[in-house]
């Protein structure tokens, strides 16, 4: 039996930090998942993109976490939580916070009625096989794109007391918002251009500290790697699954991106990033190892866990490739 949970209006709310105080550099993701193994797998899959991840295993904790962290923009919900309807949790989340949320529904055994309910709740995506890494990454990419498109623009300045009627004010506000959107679009296009723009005059009040050349180079390489990874995800959206399977390349891109971020990747996490069956991914990892591109590192704290990292040869090869791509663009 499922219980439709609704917290009372007088539910105690503890003081929380605002999203501005959290200093989160990327959109945070909340996972509400009763299956702990599934939660760990989804956490590893989403964390590699540089996002802050919260994993909760009951509806109350999920609601509290959503209210406490204002940077959460993506929510992944398991449909069949014990004694609770996962879609009812989604509905309650939308009532709890006044901000845009993109919801990914994880439901291996979903019915047609579940899909219809998810559509009515404006779910961004539906994952039918959470063990399929390509499904998870595709769902996250689409949810992030929708979240970015729905991001609120800065509020326009308050109109003077003698402003015209409400209809005129609404038209002015809409024009202001469209103007801001155009400015942001132009900024995004300029940032994607490889040539350096002319330096803008800087006021004495805020002189930015110079970025070290090494850090700037790493940022450029990360941007190219992200573009390559996103193009892989986009390709899977338009072509049949399995047509362009290349787990070695996907794993190398993932390892290089995490090398630049100073992170370590476990074998299981890397297998999920490959988007193919685990047995196939393990064979390709062995092939990369035999060719001298990666090495295995045992976890000092857990002897059962093994990390994979690029060798110096692998780092040099991928760095050279990324630099060549930068020259082409």
Give the CATH number of the domain where residue 89 resides.
3.40.50.2300
Most confident listed range (53-67, 113-127, 285-299): 285-299
The pair of structure tokens assigned to 76 is 């992944």
Q: How many CB atoms are located within 10 Å of the residue 259 CB?
A: 20
Asked if the model's pLDDT at residue 282 lies above 70, the reply is yes
Asked if the model's pLDDT at residue 234 lies above 50, the reply is yes
Asked, for residue 208, whether it belongs to a domain, the answer is: no
Among 45-59, 70-84, 89-103, 172-186, the range scoring the smallest mean pLDDT is 172-186
Segments in the chain forming alpha helices (H): 19-22, 36-47, 59-68, 86-96, 112-120, 133-149, 166-191, 213-238, 247-260, 267-274, 278-290, 312-328
**Predicted pLDDT of residue 158:** 53
Q: Which residues contact 11 (CB under 8 A, 6 or more apart)?
A: none
CA–CA–CA angle 23, 195, 329 (5° rounding): 95
> Which helix (H) or strand (E) covers residue 266, if one does?
strand 265-266
Mean pLDDT of 186-199: 52
Q: Are residues 254 and 139 in the same domain?
A: no
The pair of structure tokens assigned to 264 is 């370590």
Question: Are 315 and 259 a contacting pair, CB within 8 Å?
Answer: yes
161 by DSSP, 3-state: which? coil
Among 21-35, 70-84, 245-259, the range scoring the smallest mean pLDDT is 21-35
Distances (CA, A) of 135 to 128, 141, 285: 8, 10, 21
Q: Are residues 131 and 250 in the same domain?
A: no
Most confident listed range (162-176, 199-213, 260-274): 260-274
Domains in the chain: how many in total?
2
> Residue 306: which domain range?
216-328
**Predicted pLDDT of residue 192:** 54
Answer with the one of 126, 149, 172 that is the final residue of a domain.
Answer: 149
Asked if the model's pLDDT at residue 237 lies above 50, the reply is yes
Asked, for residue 31, whether it belongs to a domain, the answer is: yes
Asked, for residue 134, whether it belongs to a domain, the answer is: yes
Question: Are 137 and 116 a contacting pair, CB within 8 Å?
Answer: no
Asked, for residue 98, whether it belongs to a domain, the answer is: yes
pTM: 0.41
- In angstroms, how far is CA 21 from the centroid of its own chain? 20
């Amino acid at each position: 039996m499922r219980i439709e949970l609704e917290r009372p209006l007088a539910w105690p709310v503890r003081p929380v930090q605002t999203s501005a105080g959290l200093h989160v550099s990327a959109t945070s993701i909340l996972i509400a998942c009763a299956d702990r193994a599934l939660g760990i797998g989804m956490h590893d899959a989403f964390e590699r993109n540089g996002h802050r991840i919260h994993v909760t295993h009951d509806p109350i904790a999920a609601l509290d976490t959503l209210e406490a962290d204002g940077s959460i923009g993506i929510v992944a919900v398991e449909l069949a939580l014990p004694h609770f309807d996962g879609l009812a949790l989604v509905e309650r989340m939308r009532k709890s916070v006044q901000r845009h949320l993109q919801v990914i529904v994880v439901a291996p055994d979903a019915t047609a009625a579940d899909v219809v309910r998810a559509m009515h709740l404006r779910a961004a995506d539906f994952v039918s096989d959470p063990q399929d890494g390509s499904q998870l990454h595709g769902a996250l990419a689409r949810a992030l794109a929708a979240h970015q498109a729905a991001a609120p623009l800065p509020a326009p300045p308050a109109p003077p007391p003698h402003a015209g009627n409400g209809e005129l004010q609404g038209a002015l506000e809409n024009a202001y918002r469209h103007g801001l959107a155009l400015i942001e679009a132009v900024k995004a296009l300029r940032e994607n251009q490889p040539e350096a723009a002319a330096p803008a005059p800087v006021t004495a009040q805020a002189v930015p500290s110079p970025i070290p050349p090494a850090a700037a180079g790493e940022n450029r390489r990360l941007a190219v790697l992200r573009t390559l990874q996103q193009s892989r995800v986009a390709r899977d959206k338009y072509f049949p699954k399995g047509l362009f399977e290349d787990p070695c390349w996907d794993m190398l891109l993932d390892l290089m991106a995490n090398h630049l971020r100073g992170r370590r990747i476990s074998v299981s996490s890397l297998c999920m990033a490959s988007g193919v069956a685990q047995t196939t991914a393990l064979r390709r990892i062995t092939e990369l190892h035999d060719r001298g591109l990666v090495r295995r590192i045992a976890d000092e704290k857990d002897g059962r866990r093994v990390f994979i990292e690029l060798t110096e040869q692998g780092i040099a090869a991928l760095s050279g490739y990324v630099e060549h791509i930068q020259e082409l663009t």
